Amino acid sequence: MSAEATSIRFVKGHGTQNDFLLIPDTDATLGEQLDEAFTRRIADRHAGLGADGVIRVVPAARVPGHEDLDDVEWFMDYRNADGSVAEMCGNGVRVMARYLWESGLADGPMLSIATRGGVRTVHAEPDGTFTVEMGHAKPASTRQMSFVAVGGNTWPATPVWVPNPHAVVFVDDVAAAGLLTEPPQVRPAAVFPESANVEFVVDRGPRHIALRVWERGVGETRSCGTGVCAAAWAAMRRDGVGAGSTYAVDVPGGQLSVTERPDGELLLTGPAVLGVRGTVDTES
């Protein structure tokens, strides 16, 4: 280890097997060290620790643009496995909240966390699950048709932001998306200027869907919290159900539920698990 290397703590956790490395940075001193290259190295599943994303847990007061938030102490500095910055992560924010509670860095049954996509409030439920107020879904600002193409197939897509961009595709069989070894093509670029996560969604029963998801900067993952919200929101519109409805959503890593409140707020409920803890050097 060189003189410049620093040993930092990490905690690994997951929400329906969408897994993350949490890096506590309570003094806000690690920002420059946790760059794209470092993120890619530790998130690598073969040469690193392995994760879908990396979350720096940092005081909101030390993050430019978030210093004056009332009653919001923590900021979720989230990066995808390839080091790219993302707005937020619905599974990751539950995992971060559980870490803050179990580490004694927060108390009470409710906790608000700042993200690049806005403040997200997490509620600890009596059954051990966690509910996140995910904000309002936003459809595309244009009526231009959208499409997803992969494996020789092309489907119409429903664009929706939660707040990450998503292209929701309803299919007869999730296997129709193939192996998903390459990114699906999302068109047109005018609708998705920053590309999008893609959800391949099937029906399982009344108000019950299942999906596979391709995440920008990661690839196919076992779950995606914002993707689950996007898929449920699109299914609610397709099915013509009113606000107040709840959909069960199966993902390869488990099950989540999404409720749309009468005011349009989407509530995402599911588990959050903490596991391996250790240290890692900032230089290989």
Domains in the chain and their CATH numbers? 7-134+271-281 (3.10.310.10), 138-260 (3.10.310.10)
Give the position of tokens 């998801």. 213
DSSP 239-281: HTPPTT-EEEEEETTEEEEEEE-TTS-EEEEE--EEEEEEEEE
Listed in sequence order, the DSSP H helices in 44-194 are 90-102
Structural tokens at position 252: 């390869």
Q: Report, as residue numbers or ranges, the catalytic residues.
A: 89, 224
CB 75 within 8 A of CB 60: yes
Q: Is 215 annotated as a binding residue?
A: yes
DSSP state of 162: S
- In this prediction, residue 284 carries a pLDDT of 62
Region 232-241 average pLDDT: 97
- In this prediction, residue 47 carries a pLDDT of 94
Check pLDDT > 70 for residue 273.
yes
Dump pLDDT digits (tens) for 134-149. Answer: 999 999 988 889 999 9
Dump pLDDT digits (tens) for 90-148. Answer: 999 999 999 999 999 999 999 999 999 999 999 999 999 999 999 999 999 888 899 99
Check pLDDT > 50 for residue 2.
no
Dump pLDDT digits (tens) for 158-214. Answer: 999 999 999 999 999 999 999 999 999 999 999 999 899 999 999 999 999 999 999
**Bond from prior residue into 271 cis (ω within 30 degrees of 0):** no
Q: Is 143 annotated as a binding residue?
A: no
Q: Is 153 annotated as a binding residue?
A: no
CB 94 within 8 A of CB 130: yes
- In this prediction, residue 4 carries a pLDDT of 63
Q: Is 277 annotated as a binding residue?
A: no
